[in-house]
Amino acid sequence: MSLQTERTVPMQVLALGFQRTGTTSLTVALETLGYVRTNHGFTVLTSSGAVIDMWIAAIKAKFFGEGTPFGRAEWDKLLGDCRAVCDAPHILFAAELIAAYPDAKVVLTNRSLENWWKSFEATILEARKPTQLKRLVRWLDPGQSAKSMQLAGLIFRVLYDSDNDHVTKDVAQARFTAHYEEVRRLAPKGRLLEFEVKEGWGPLAKFLGKEVPATAFPRVNDTEQFKKRVFDMRMKPVRVWASRIVWSLVTAGVPAVLLLYCRVWA
């Protein structure tokens, strides 16, 4: 994902459901229906440093009074090649995106509070815990990776009104409920769909005026997939540095290291 100079495609769908309500499955579903690109939170976190910097600026402007709040021009710069958006950080700007793109339809993926909390606790809360790997990644890659972690921390802080990396069940569920009430109030009349991904293609395709695809509705990013995805993101700079070190040793005339490297990374 890179910054745009102007909007190249219309913004058609604002998927503003909370994290861990099937947003990754919805992203795949929307792209299957032709909404390419659908910008998901994971896309943002793996974007260029310039993109992440702009999202950080947007959050600081709205929630911390640092800088000028974003308008249509800034959203087009960030999202000009997107037909749809999904997941955080987009959901932090429900009011702004609905105002900027009044013709876009709004989709709210929902889930029972109890099931949502269990998934949230096992994934996002778990990922917020400090680890040696996170410290190493920040040191190895103070640019993109460190900025990505900074953005993730800001999203968590704002979504859950928490100044640390923990939130109680009651507070998290209250924030979830408040967000859904706000989106229901903001969405233009007749342009809101609430559904659970377990309902499949029917409600979504009908709402968007699309034919139901022949393929099964996507089911992706369960707890184990989420954990693997986060781990792979964090290991990327580690692997890059490991490759550089190994290559330096090889070119310095230590062929035995190459054999060991191939066995370890096979």
Band the pLDDT of 57: cuts 50, 70, 90: very high
In residues, how long is the chain?
Answer: 266
Q: Give this prediction's pTM.
A: 0.86
How confident is the model at residue 30, as a pLDDT?
Answer: 98
Mean pLDDT value across residues 205-230: 89
- Please report whether residue 147 resides in a domain: yes
Mean pLDDT within 232-260: 63
| Exposed e or buried b per residue across 77-93, where buried means at least 16 C-beta atoms within 10 angstroms of its C-beta | bbbbbbbbbbbbbbbbb
- Structural domain containing residue 38: 13-219
- Specify the CATH number for the domain of residue 101: 3.40.50.300
Considering the domain boundaries, does residue 228 fall inside one? Answer: no
* CA separation, residue 203 to residues 17, 59, 141, 164, 206 (Å): 16, 32, 43, 38, 5
pLDDT, mean over the chain: 89
CB 99 within 8 A of CB 6: no
Does position 258 have pLDDT exceeding 80, yes or no? no
214 domain-assigned: yes
Asked if the structure places residue 3 within a domain, the reply is no
DSSP bridge pairs for 195: 109
Is the pLDDT assigned to residue 218 strictly greater than 80?
yes
- For residue 237, being part of any structural domain is answered with no
Angle between the N-to-C axes of helices 144-159 and 223-251, in degrees from 0 to 180, rounded to the nearest 10: 160
* pLDDT on residue 266: 46
Domain tally, the chain: 1
Q: Is residue 264 scored above 60 in pLDDT?
A: no
Top pLDDT among 242 and 27 is at 27
Average pLDDT over residues 233-245: 68
Within a domain: 162: yes
Q: Do 2 and 50 touch, CB atoms closer than 8 A? A: yes
- Give the C-alpha separation, 145 to 151, whole Å: 10
82, amino acid identity: C
The C-alpha torsion from 186 through 188 and 189 to 190, rounded to 10°, is: -120
User: Between the CA of residue 25 and those of 84, 193, 227, 230, what are the distances in Å?
Assistant: 14, 16, 16, 17
Q: What is the mean pLDDT of residues 69-98?
A: 97
Q: Is it the case that residue 238 has pLDDT exceeding 60? A: yes
Interatomic CA distance for residues 151 and 13, integer angstroms: 23
Q: Which amino acid is at 96?
A: E
Q: What percent of the chain has pLDDT over 70?
A: 89
What distance in Å separates the CA atoms of residue 88 and residue 171, rounded to the nearest whole number?
18
Distances (CA, A) of 57 to 42, 50, 95, 143, 263: 18, 10, 17, 16, 44
Is 259 part of any domain? Answer: no
Does the pLDDT of residue 243 top 80, yes or no? no
pLDDT in tens, 145-200: 889 999 999 999 999 998 888 899 999 999 999 999 999 999 999 999 999 999 99
262 falls in which pLDDT band (50, 70, 90)?
low
Q: What is the DSSP letter of 129?
A: S
